[in-house]
Amino acid sequence: MSLGPVMVGLAGTTLAVEEREILCHPLVGGALLFERNYESPEQVAALCATIHALREPRLLIAVDHEGGRVQRFRRGFTPLPAAAVWGRLYDRDPGQALEMARDCGWLMAAELRAVGVDLSFAPVLDLDRGVSRVIGERALHRDPETVATLARAYGRGMKEAGMTVTGKHFPGHGGVREDSHLQLPVDSRGLEDLLLEDLLPFERMVHYGMESVMTAHVCYQGSDRRIATFSSFWIEEVLRGQLGFQGAVFSDDLAMAAAAGPGDLAARARAALAAGCDMVLVCQERAHAEVVLDDLGSWSNPVTRLRLARLHGRPAPTRDELLRDPRWRETAARVSACDRSRDLKLL
């Protein structure tokens, strides 16, 4: 059984019988974990092992674990600084910032791989324009070249720990004030302006070997009236055509308010897949996933299956082995010190 194009959410810290059935559906390709799915490293490792044992090839397991306010697993994991910390440090000491960004990418990925998580949807490649309510300190910097440079270092650390890189939110969420979880953001700039700034980090990361991208639920009305998640212009013409991206494309969660344009969740899933997404996220309620899976029927795309198959995490040390690793001890101490010092006096 190959990986399907739907990523689902789970209700709690163990699998219910109905969730096992959904995860075995041929159109499911992965599970996204949230705070509601986490109690401890031991518990989440057992949950991931159970999910991976259900099928072959094993399902992808993902989480949003960027650092700062977006870190789903807390107790037992190293607290990670918000991405903006590396940007502020870069303005003072670029070399140290790049070293710390790489360390943070490695630490994040190593701790997740040690419990069986395949993907963290990171790094954020949006620009810090000072207007976005939902991005804020999740962005690395205002300058696109700096974002690309820091993201490359962060991605190197991730890959050293056995995790692929997912850049988000394509083609850039930093230029709009609205939170796409709650309403539809509209960016009036045209393609030329976006290519000069917001798209530059994505272009650079494509050439650096980024394996996947997550789309933005944003309408860039200067180029296309459809929001990026449902736009073949953005996914096929710009991302794959102009930027040359050959990896996997994830939608953001289709239950978000900004994704309502095409209709109900089934219509949203069909529209995203038709636009060029390889995997759609339907992660809030089991009933939503059931509706989407029933509607998609016998959907199939051999190219999508190949793209998704490349995203499995590489073999990694167990958690006990990781905690004995001198690199983990030293890196966790440095990153923890940075997280406790928002003004960077400890660096």
- Residues designated as active site: 181, 252
CA nearest to 229, candidates 201, 259, 265: 259
- The SS3 of residue 181 is coil
CA nearest to 323, candidates 46, 62, 49, 78: 78
If you compute the radius of gyration of the chain from its CA atoms, what whole number of angstroms results? 19
End-to-end CA distance of the chain: 49
Distance separating alpha carbons of residues 328 and 71, to the nearest angstrom: 18
CA nearest to 213, candidates 244, 169, 161, 181: 169
Distance separating alpha carbons of residues 288 and 291, to the nearest angstrom: 5
Cα 275 versus chain centre, distance: 19
Phi-psi region of 67 (alpha: psi -120 to 50; beta: other; left: phi over 0): left
DSSP class of residue 315? P
Distance separating alpha carbons of residues 98 and 151, to the nearest angstrom: 9
User: What are the C-alpha distances in Å from 296 to residues 5, 40, 164, 271?
Assistant: 10, 35, 28, 11
CA nearest to 248, candidates 9, 111, 23, 62: 62
CA nearest to 201, candidates 234, 241, 239: 239
Distance separating alpha carbons of residues 138 and 49, to the nearest angstrom: 30
